[in-house]
Amino acid sequence: MELNTLRAFVQVARDGSFSQAAEHLFLTQPAISKRIASLENELDTRLFDRMGRQVFLTEAGRHLLPRAEHIIDQMSDIRRELANLSGRVAGRLAMATSHHIGLHQLPAVLRSYSDTNPQVELDIRFMESERACQAVEQGELELAVVTLPLNPVDALQSKTIWHDPLLVVVGLDHPLAKLETVSLPELVSYPAVLPTRGTYTRTLIEQRINRHHLQVNCTLSTDYLETLKMMATIGLGWSLLPDILLDDQLVPLQVTELKLSRSLGIVSHRKRTLSNAARVMRELLLFYANR
């Protein structure tokens, strides 16, 4: 049973699609299908039910999945441990970050890292913080530099690097823009434009507002903070944005009940060995945290 065949099986199981698995593994769809067929022949059992373009694990597939994931994790860990013995900082570092952090917090870190570690190939993937944490948990990535989860995840180790104050903002022509202070009931009586439901930032503000037995009236949502800024600027609703995005086209509101901040930092897996490349990146990020 080849490791690459198991990787194909795990990726198809996660994506529920042969074509998406092929994209993730940089293979053709026929190559993925061939590997799955080979594994099914070797085990003499069907692992997936095909229904149109979607595939679903059979009972045998569900039993195999956690064992296959464990084998892949163990082999990856062994490779990293052996590679680390040389002390060389080289190879590929697969990590994720959000667009906001990539634009505003990471440039200096990445420049310093690339200058001092030229033999490392950086594979940086931009994605939502929630998806990035899941990818680290599943072993797809070594590190994520993202908005940290509001509640601890057993498998993940988190370390705060930056504190990111959040402001309630409106455009210059919004009815609330000229008020010195705004009550929470008054705020939620107006439409909001916020990050997508289920994101850490959206959950943070909803939890705070729900404590007062109120609800957000969110009429538009997106995961791109620059887009939220634009929508608030043109008057589509109030929003919650990092203070670094504030400019003269936005007015920060003084809402006594909403003093919010989120933590940005590093996420890694508690039980997996970091490569030298990932370890040096983590150390550099921690250095910036202590500056």
Give 185's pLDDT tier (boundaries 50, 70, 90): very high
Q: Is pLDDT at 113 greater than 90 in this prediction?
A: yes
Phi-psi map region of 183: left, alpha, beta (phi>0 left; psi -120 to 50 alpha): beta
Mark whether 247 and 182 lie in a shared domain. yes
**Identity of residue 123:** D
Q: What is the mean pLDDT of residues 19-33?
A: 89
Mark whether 248 and 175 lie in a shared domain. yes
Mark whether 272 and 149 lie in a shared domain. yes
Is 18 contained in some domain?
yes
Is 78 contained in some domain?
no
Mark whether 9 and 63 lie in a shared domain. yes
Q: Is pLDDT at 291 greater than 70 in this prediction?
A: no
* pLDDT score, position 232: 97
* pLDDT score, position 3: 85
Q: What are phi and psi of 180, to 5 degrees?
A: -70, -40
Torsion angle of the four alpha carbons 116, 271, 63, 149, in this order, in degrees rounded to the nearest 10: -80
Mark whether 137 and 176 lie in a shared domain. no
Mark whether 169 and 243 lie in a shared domain. yes
How many structural domains comprise the chain?
3
29-58 exposure pattern, b = at least 16 Cβ within 10 A, e = fewer: eeebbebbeebbeeeeeebbeeeeeebebe
Domain region containing 19: 3-69
Is 83 contained in some domain?
no
CATH number, domain of 59, equals: 1.10.10.10
Q: What is the mean pLDDT of residues 42-70?
A: 89
Mark whether 191 and 273 lie in a shared domain. no
**218-271 pLDDT, tens per residue?**
999 998 999 999 999 999 999 999 999 999 999 999 998 888 999 999 999 998
Is 80 contained in some domain?
no
Mark whether 173 and 255 lie in a shared domain. yes
CB 95 within 8 A of CB 281: yes
Mark whether 176 and 47 lie in a shared domain. no
Mark whether 255 and 274 lie in a shared domain. no
Is 101 contained in some domain?
yes
* pLDDT score, position 83: 65
Of the candidates 161, 162, 144, the one whose C-alpha atom is nearest the C-alpha of residue 269 is: 144
Rounded distance between C-alpha atoms, residue 2 and residue 34, angstroms: 13
User: Which positions ≥6 away from 237 have C-beta within 8 Å?
Assistant: 190, 191, 192, 193, 218, 219, 220, 231
CATH number, domain of 226, equals: 3.40.190.10
**144-171 pLDDT, tens per residue?**
999 999 888 899 999 999 999 999 999 9
Q: What is the mean pLDDT of residues 50-57?
A: 83
Is 62 contained in some domain?
yes
CB 53 within 8 A of CB 19: yes
pTM, to two decimals: 0.71
Mark whether 199 and 129 lie in a shared domain. no
Mark whether 47 and 181 lie in a shared domain. no
Q: What burial class does residue 197 get, using C-beta atoms within 10 Å of its C-beta: 0-12 exposed, 13-18 middle, 19+ buried?
A: exposed
Q: For 73-113, give the DSSP string.
A: HHHHHHHHHHHHTT----EEEEEEE-HHHHHHTSHHHHHHH
User: Which positions ≥6 away from 103 have C-beta within 8 Å?
Assistant: none
